Amino acid sequence: QVQLVESGGGSVQPGGSLRLSCAASGFILEHYAKGWFRQAPGKDREAVSCISARDGTMHYADSVKGRFTMSRDYAKNTLYLQMNSLKPEDTAVYYCAADPLFSACLDYDDVLNMDHWGKGTDVTVSS
C-alpha cells in the first residue's frame, strides 16, 4: 500500500525557514518522480516542485525558485523540502506526491497529475 506522510510544518515569522519531510512506505521512492504541492485556504492546489527519478532533475515554481530546495535520502525512503526566506504568501498545507506511472518530471506542475499524496503538513508564515 502506497503511503506518504508529511511532517515538519509549523508557524514561523517572515524570513524564517522550515524543513518538510515526506516519508514513503509501500513503494521505493527512488524509482518514481515525486514532488510537492500546496493549497492555501480557499485556493486551488499550487504546484511547488517536481523531481525526476532517473536523473534527479528538479523543477521549481517561479514563486519558490531560489528559496526552496528539494533533497532526498533514499536510505530512509524520504523526500525533503527545505524552505528558506519564507513569506506570508507561502502559508498553505503542503503535500508531497508520487506516482508509479511517473518516472520523470517535464516541469514542476507535473506533480499535480500524480495520484498518491499524503495528508499534508500545515505551514503558517506570519508576524
pLDDT at 93: 98
Q: Return the closest-CA partner of residue 35 out of 67, 6, 66.
A: 6
Lowest mean pLDDT among 7-16, 49-58, 79-88: 49-58
> Quick one: cell of 109?
506542475
Contact 34, 98 (CB under 8 A): yes
pLDDT at 119: 97
pLDDT at 77: 96
Structure confidence by residue, pLDDT tens digits, 12-30: 999 999 999 999 999 899 9
Average pLDDT for 53-67: 94
- The residue type at 63: S
Q: How far is CA 102 from CA 24, 45, 55, 105, 106, in A?
A: 16, 19, 13, 7, 10
Q: How far is CA 38 from CA 22, 74, 116, in A?
A: 13, 23, 14
Q: Return the closest-CA partner of residue 116 out of 8, 34, 17.
A: 34
Structure confidence by residue, pLDDT tens digits, 70-116: 999 999 999 999 999 999 999 999 999 998 888 889 999 999 999 99
